Amino acid sequence: MKGFKFSAWLSTAILCFLFWLLLTWSFAPRELILGVLVSAIVSAFASRFLIHSRAFYLYNPVRLVLLVFYCVIIFFWEVIKANVSMAALVLRPKLDYKPGILRIPADPELKSDYGLAMVSNCITLTPGTITMETAQDEEGRNYYYVHWIDVAETDRDKAGEAIKGTMERWIGRIWK
Amino acid sequence: MDVVDLIATILMVIGLFFAFIGTLGILRMPDVFGRLQASTCISTMGTIFVVLSSIVYVVAHGMSGSVVVKLVFILLFVLGTNPVSNHALCKGAYRSAKPNPEPILDDYKEDDPQ
């Protein structure tokens, strides 16, 4: 099979098997055997879509704890802030807002595709901002094109600070 | 009604309030982009708080741990798939729909990264 790597397959199979355990919630032997079989077959097909490099990167306890901390505290707080400002905008008697599409520079420390994808998905998940595209210029710097419902800051760098908040710094600690 | 039920009710009310805000936004906003932005409220804050409320209820009434795991999976899948569809809809709308009000700045058109 084209693009098949054993480490990627093993990593995906472990992840699939953990999902199987959590969903079936049983340790009966036939469930375990069936789970191993199903996750081995599924990950043989799916691993090349899920993992491209550094297969066991996230199986590090420190990174897992950071990831959970990021999702539960940092991301949750950003979502609450953005939701409250969105609610204030929608409940205003007269709708007047200034939409715009801005080019936001990414953190130069953040090189990996997974990190960039996670930052752009988190930007999309906060109401009021949607990432339309990530692009790379000639010098290798990454940019997000972000649709912002109410442009409060036209300077690109300061707008980036306002949109990304502390999210990118924390994702940079997880993915490098 | 004891304290746990009260907490679950309050969390559910917060979630439903933000789902209401999202729906109101979809109805009030004048164009596709505004509606997309408002609808994100439903799938983030609405889902998060409704699931939190259900978790509190399930734990307090001593149901099996597998129910909690399934609730967390619902949350993860909604939060994982929503940005993908939102991003695709936004890009599609950028090519075909007419923005209203006009964006005050549009770096995407100037640079044209595709």
- Asked whether residue A85 falls in the same domain as residue A33, the answer is no
pLDDT of residue B74: 92
pLDDT of residue B8: 94
- Asked whether residue A93 falls in the same domain as residue A16, the answer is no
ipTM > 0.90 (yes/no): no
Q: Is residue B111 part of a domain?
A: no
The least confident of A29-33, A102-106, B61-65 is B61-65
Q: Is residue B88 part of a domain?
A: yes
Count of domains observed in chain B: 1
Q: What angle do CA A66, A172, A120 make, to 5 degrees?
A: 105
- Asked whether residue A171 falls in the same domain as residue A103, the answer is yes
A121 and B21 in contact by Cβ < 8 A?
A: no
Residues of B in contact with A83 (CB under 8 A): 18, 21, 41, 44-45
Task: Quickly state the pLDDT bin for B54 (edges 50, 70, 90).
Answer: very high
Q: Is residue A121 part of a domain?
A: yes
- Asked whether residue A72 falls in the same domain as residue A97, the answer is yes
Q: Is residue A1 part of a domain?
A: no
Nearest-angstrom CA–CA distance, A135 and A142: 6
B37 and A129 in contact by Cβ < 8 A?
A: yes
- High-pLDDT (> 90) share of chain A, %: 23
Residue A59 scores a pLDDT above 90: no
Which residues constitute the domain of residue B9?
A: 3-100
- Asked whether residue A40 falls in the same domain as residue A85, the answer is no
pLDDT digits (tens, 9 = 90+) for B81-108: 999 999 999 888 888 888 878 888 887 8
A125 and B106 in contact by Cβ < 8 A?
A: no
pLDDT digits (tens, 9 = 90+) for A100-136: 888 888 888 888 888 888 899 999 999 889 998 888 8
Q: Is residue A28 part of a domain?
A: yes
Comparing alpha-carbon positions, the chain B residue that sits nearest to A88 is: B21
Q: Is residue A55 part of a domain?
A: no
Q: Is residue A104 part of a domain?
A: yes
The least confident of A31-45, A47-61, A141-155, B25-39 is A47-61
Task: Quickly state the pLDDT bin for A83 (edges 50, 70, 90).
Answer: very high
In sequence order, which residues have a C-beta less than 8 Å from that of residue A91 and are 6 or more positions away?
B21, B24
Which residues constitute the domain of residue A24?
A: 6-50
Q: Is residue B91 part of a domain?
A: yes
Q: Is residue B106 part of a domain?
A: no
B45 and A80 in contact by Cβ < 8 A?
A: yes
Q: Is residue A58 part of a domain?
A: no
End-to-end CA distance of chain A: 30
- Asked whether residue A26 falls in the same domain as residue A87, the answer is no
Q: Is residue A33 part of a domain?
A: yes
pLDDT of residue A2: 64
- Asked whether residue A112 falls in the same domain as residue A139, the answer is yes
- Asked whether residue A45 falls in the same domain as residue A73, the answer is no
- Asked whether residue A116 falls in the same domain as residue A143, the answer is yes
pLDDT of residue B114: 59
Q: Are A129 and A162 in contact (CB under 8 A)?
A: no
Nearest-angstrom CA–CA distance, A129 and B36: 10
Count of domains observed in chain A: 2
- Asked whether residue A94 falls in the same domain as residue A137, the answer is yes
Count Cα neighbours of A14 within 13 Å in the Cβ-side half-sphere: 10
pLDDT digits (tens, 9 = 90+) for A37-54: 999 999 988 888 888 777
The shortest C-alpha distance from A44 to chain B (Å) reads 22
What integer is the mean pLDDT of A4-32? 89
pLDDT of residue B113: 62
Inter-chain Cβ pairs, chain A and chain B, closer than 8 A: 134
pLDDT of residue B53: 94
- High-pLDDT (> 90) share of chain B, %: 47
pLDDT of residue A112: 82
Q: Is residue A90 part of a domain?
A: yes
Q: Are A71 and A160 in contact (CB under 8 A)?
A: no
**pLDDT, averaged across chain A:** 87
Q: Is residue B109 part of a domain?
A: no
What integer is the mean pLDDT of A64-87? 90
